[in-house]
Structure 1
């Protein structure tokens, strides 16, 4: 039994020792072998590898993929005309020399990202200070990002960080919140001014159109009234001429007709009351049948 226990214990120790000597490097990683706190070897190809057991050798891993670093700094930067802008940017980078990277920054990718962020921030501060807001937003935006990338690459060459910067992009450039609110208020005031001006112009044009329409209406009504009066006058004259001609033919009928017209004009309402003496009044002569015949026209 003691022999079996010894064999089992020996097998377990052997397995533990073997597992501590084996390590796997993923295709997305660098494997860095340390020997007594010094870099012994950098494994760049994926696969299964051997090393000495701890504490003689140890292994650390670094990401070999293309990494993205997004800005998280809200501190404004002054432009050439002293306008304060808050910018957002992102950086694409990778570790190319793990040995240099570890000696300069350690085995944590976050340390490299922090150092890179500071360098990119300094480069943006320098380049934005040379340009106006208009240039940053439209005319020289691409030029700005190219200059920032160039400056960052130059600084990295002098520091031997083992890092390659692939691309730098500015995603947003905006005024600080207080200035943004002021700009929005100015834009709103300008839009209101233009709207009020358009309303005033429209109201003036409306009044002008209405005044012209009223004038044309008055002229049209006046002309129509003039023509109507003219036609009415011509009709009255023709009617008078017709009446005169008809009455001239029969004077007694003419007098009778005038009496009837007078009665109709006097008693045009049911409630009208006239108190007269029909027997002695000339007004009711037609009712009494005593209309005098008109003298016959003299013949010459």
Structure 2
């Protein structure tokens, strides 16, 4: 009885083994490669339950992915045209489109396929970046670069039964050495630009200062000239008036001049003067305070002399009414062709936008 139970149990176990080893299930995320003695006999891509010869000795099944897979590459150092280097992060998405080729040429192993993918992606990225200038890798050409990379590796990986869906570049950064060099170059350019602007400002300041000094000298010279002319005209008018008064009554004029001389020469200061009584200075001291008789014969009064006008030399009004001409502000032409004029009030001259290169010195 016991032997019979063992035999029945063994038969049931054998039957279950045969049953379960003759079926295989294909998931919707997978595809199955059916092989008989190592030779591929069938490819199952549709999900479901399938049957094969029991046991794995005759027929064996290898399940591979049917999903979209991803491969990443990070911190890849690539060189662009001009010997500059970038640090690049990228990835691609792929699918096993031909399970037969994938089994035959990559033994159906993702590790083998991804080794080939890594080499192909590395070479394609280096080729694409190597054809670009330094600034192109950071411009709007990135989409074109990703498309070129995908097109380069597609034929190579299609031989493994892989279909490259897309290639994406995640990051493109300057290499640490290149970044430092670029920073120093940009810093030098900014310093040179600042020095140029500072020199241009100093040039304008010196030009304006020279113009202002010239204007000041011209204005002071014109004012001094006109002041001397007016002073001379005043002295001439004073002398003319004195002469006219003397011609009207010479005796009274002598008396008036003597009184002025007494007032100025004999102030109340204790001054002692030793003079002869017959001196002409004391002519009117012995008159007992009597004034000289008024003259009845007067000369014809002199008409007032007309003061000549000082011409301004131009139709524009004078600055202060004294004949000082309004000076036309001079201007200067710089080497870049721009006109430089003195400022008015607090108005600053407009900066020069683009400076022409300085001429080479004469040999």
Q: TM-score interval w.r.t. the shorter chain?
A: 0.5 to 0.7
Give 1:216's aligned residue.
215
- Unpaired runs of 5+ residues, structure 2, are 1-18, 299-363
Structure 1 position 233, deviation (Å): 1.4
Mapping of 1:125-164 within 5 angstroms? 125-129=126-130, 131=131, 133-134=133-134, 137=137, 145-158=146-159, 160=160, 162-164=161-163
Structure 1 pair 122/249, CA: closer, same or farther in 2 (3 Å)?
Answer: same
Name the TM-score, length of structure 2 as normaliser.
Answer: 0.53
Counterpart of 2:308 in structure 1 is none
* TM-fit CA distance, 1:257: 7.0
SS in structure 2 at match of 1:164: strand
* Superposition pairs of residues 1-300 of structure 1, within 5 angstroms: 25=27, 29-30=29-30, 32=32, 44-45=45-46, 62=65, 64-65=67-68, 67-74=69-76, 76-79=77-80, 82-98=83-99, 100-101=101-102, 104=106, 112-113=113-114, 115-129=116-130, 131=131, 133-134=133-134, 137=137, 145-158=146-159, 160=160, 162-170=161-169, 173-250=172-249, 252=252, 255-256=255-256, 259=259, 274-277=269-272, 290=289, 293=292
Q: CA 1:294/1:202 → structure 2, altered by over 3 Å: closer, same or farther?
A: farther
Contact kept, 8 Å, 2:96 with 2:163, in 1: the verdict is: yes
RMSD of aligned alpha carbons: 5.1
SS at 1:71's partner residue? strand
Aligned residues: 265
CA-to-partner distance for each residue in 1:112-170, whole Å, 9 max, x for gaps? 555423320022334545x3535954798777655533331222133x2x321123344
1:34-58 C-alpha deviation (Å, 9 max, x unpaired): 8999899766456x75789xx9899
Partners of 2:293 and 2:177 in 1: CA distance: 108
Residues 1:80 and 1:183: Cα distance change in structure 2 (over 3 Å):
closer
Compared with structure 1, are the counterparts of its residues 51 and 290 closer, same or farther at alpha carbon in structure 2 (3 Å cutoff)? farther
Residues 182, 94 of structure 1: CA spacing in aligned structure 2 closer, same or farther, 3 A cutoff?
Answer: same
| Secondary structure in 1 matching 2:75 | coil
Determine if contact 1:135/1:141 at 8 Å carries over to the other structure.
Answer: no
- How far residue 229 of structure 1 moved from its aligned partner, in angstroms, is 1.6
What is the rounded CA distance, in whole Å, between the counterparts of 2:262 and 2:27 in structure 1? 131
2:84–2:178: 8 Å Cα contact kept in structure 1? no
TM-score (norm 1): 0.62
Q: Is the 8 A contact 1:62 1:107 kept in 2?
A: no
Find the aligned partners of 2:143 and 2:258 in 1 and give their Cα distance: 106
* Change over 3 Å in CA distance of 1:169–1:181 after alignment to 2: same
CA positional deviation for 1:275: 2.6
Corresponding residue SS for 2:270: coil
